[in-house]
Every structure is written in C-alpha cells, then in structure tokens.
C-alpha cells in the first residue's frame, strides 16, 4: 500500500488526476473503473480541463462504473449515469458506446450477471474509489463478503443519510433504499486501485484500513492486501492515524 498524504481536497484531486491522466497517456485504450459521489468531482474537472487544454484523448478508453441506484433510469437527474455524463463524459472525446454503468431499472439478477460477464472479459487497468464513512467501497456495505461480485444490495441508513446530505436536495426519503454494485472481488481484480479520502468524517474508516487487519465489517480494509493500491488522504482523513 502506497499512502500519499496531502493538505486538502484540492491537492488530493490533483494527485489522483495525475495518476489517471498518465494512465491514459501511457495506454490510450485503458479500461478505467470510475466512481461517483462528491469525492471524484474535482478530479473529473481536472481531467476535462486537461482534455480541453492539452488534448489528452479518451476515444479508445473504456470505462466501468462501480454502481447505480436501484429503480432509477439513466436519464434520472440523480442516477449515476447522469452524474457521469454531467461531470465527465460530455467534456471528453470518449465514445459513449465504451461507457458502462450498471442499469438500475432492469431485471436485477440478469443485470448483475451481464455486468459480471463484461468485467470477466475486461480487466480494469486502474480503478478509482471513494470511501464511505462506514468503510464501504462502491455500495459494498459492512458485512459484504470479500468474495462478492456484482450484486443487488440494501443501503445502510448511514449511507443514505450521507448521500441525502450531498445530493437529493437533502431529502432522505428520496434516496433509493437499494443499489446495484460491483462486488469486492470485482474491485480487487483491477490491476491498480486508487482511493481518495478527504475530511474528518472519513478518519475512522481510514484508520481501520491502514492499521487493522482486513475485516468485512470495514469493506475497504481488504484493499491493504491489493498488490498495487494507492491511498490519497488529506489532513482530516489522516487525523486518527498512529503512523
């Protein structure tokens, strides 16, 4: 595990941007695993700015997103497909046929099977992650098996509250209760993984990830065993670390 400690969110976003930009420059047909939520927004802005100014091309890149809310169509303003379009895809030269986000409004088991089959044929070169305050990655909540693959899951109340605070106009009742998510096994099969964590509310989870043994009660803790894992943390997220 490589730990990069930075001052704040802006610096964390810059570090992550550099890793992803360099990946695409070195391998123009990279397969990228992408995340949603508030954490990657600035990194996506930097990727868009770099494409506009420097012409870094994404025309041969394929992407796989981690998750999607159950019951939301891709056109729904709070769907993760919509999020990715508004924050990244529409600013790049990426072929939307190469963009993959789980479909939350399809037959769920069939969709999970379809997504797993695609991931089996397309190993992710570089996977981006955020982390929930309860240690979830993707929507793999505490208790999720490390052997899990893409599945349908009920969201913890803490996750729904966090997401209501950031999105859905703060209305908890509007946050879906379930989601479709890549499993932890899918995530661990990526060649490289980068996780960004910022803020005091992530400090307990980060301490468990860095200092404790892997446990399903803290899903992100398994990342400490990944052969090429980079953790980018700001001062708030690092505030409880002993080392």
The Cα 147–Cα 172 span in angstroms is 30
Give strand ranges (E) for 56-210. Answer: 62-65, 67-69, 99-100, 126-129, 151-154, 178-181, 192-197
**Whether the Cβ atoms of residue 135 and residue 219 lie closer than 8 Å to each other:** yes
Determine which one of 50, 68, 141, 162 is catalytic.
141
Is-catalytic flag, 76? no
Q: What backbone torsions phi and psi does residue 220 show, to the nearest 5 degrees? A: -65, -20
For residue 230, the surrounding DSSP H or E stretch is strand 229-233
CA-angle at 31, arms to 28 and 36, nearest 5°: 120
Is-catalytic flag, 154? no
Determine which one of 67, 125, 189, 234 is catalytic.
67
Is-catalytic flag, 226? no
CA distances from 10 to 6, 39, 92, 198 (A): 9, 10, 21, 10
Q: Is 77 exposed, middle or buried (0-12, 13-18, 19+ CB in 10 A)?
A: exposed
From the centroid of its chain, how far is CA 50?
Answer: 21
Q: Dihedral of CA 112/113/118/121: which sign?
A: positive
Is-catalytic flag, 50? no
Q: What backbone torsions phi and psi does residue 32 show, to the nearest 5 degrees? A: -105, 135
Determine which one of 51, 87, 136, 226 is catalytic.
136
Give exposure, 46-69, as e/b (b: 16+ Cβ within 10 Å). bbbebbeeeebebeebbbbbbbbb
Q: Which are the catalytic amino acids?
A: 67, 134, 136, 141
């Amino acid at each position: 595990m490589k730990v990069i400690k930075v001052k704040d969110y802006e610096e964390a976003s810059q570090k992550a941007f550099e890793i992803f930009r360099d990946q695409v420059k070195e391998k123009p047909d990279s397969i990228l695993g992408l995340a949603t939520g508030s954490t990657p927004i600035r990194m996506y802005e930097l990727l868009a700015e770099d494409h506009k100014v420097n012409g870094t091309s994404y025309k041969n890149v394929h992407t796989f997103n981690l998750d999607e809310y159950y019951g939301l169509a891709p056109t729904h303003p709070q769907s993760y497909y919509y999020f990715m379009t508004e924050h990244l895809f529409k600013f790049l030269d990426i072929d939307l046929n190469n963009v993959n986000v789980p479909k939350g409004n399809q037959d769920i088991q069939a969709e999970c099977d379809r997504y797993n089959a695609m991931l089996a044929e397309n190993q992710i070169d570089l996977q981006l992650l955020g982390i929930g305050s309860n240690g979830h990655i993707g929507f793999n909540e505490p208790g999720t098996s490390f052997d899990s693959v893409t599945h349908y899951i009920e969201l913890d109340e803490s996750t729904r509250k966090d997401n209501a605070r950031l999105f859905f106009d703060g209305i908890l009742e509007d946050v879906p209760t379930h989601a479709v998510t890549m499993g932890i096994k899918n995530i661990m099969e990526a060649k490289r993984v980068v996780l960004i964590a910022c803020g005091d509310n992530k400090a307990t989870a980060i301490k468990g990830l860095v200092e404790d043994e892997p446990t399903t009660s803290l899903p992100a803790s398994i990342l400490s065993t990944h052969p090429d894992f980079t953790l980018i943390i700001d001062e708030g997220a690092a505030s409880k670390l002993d080392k």
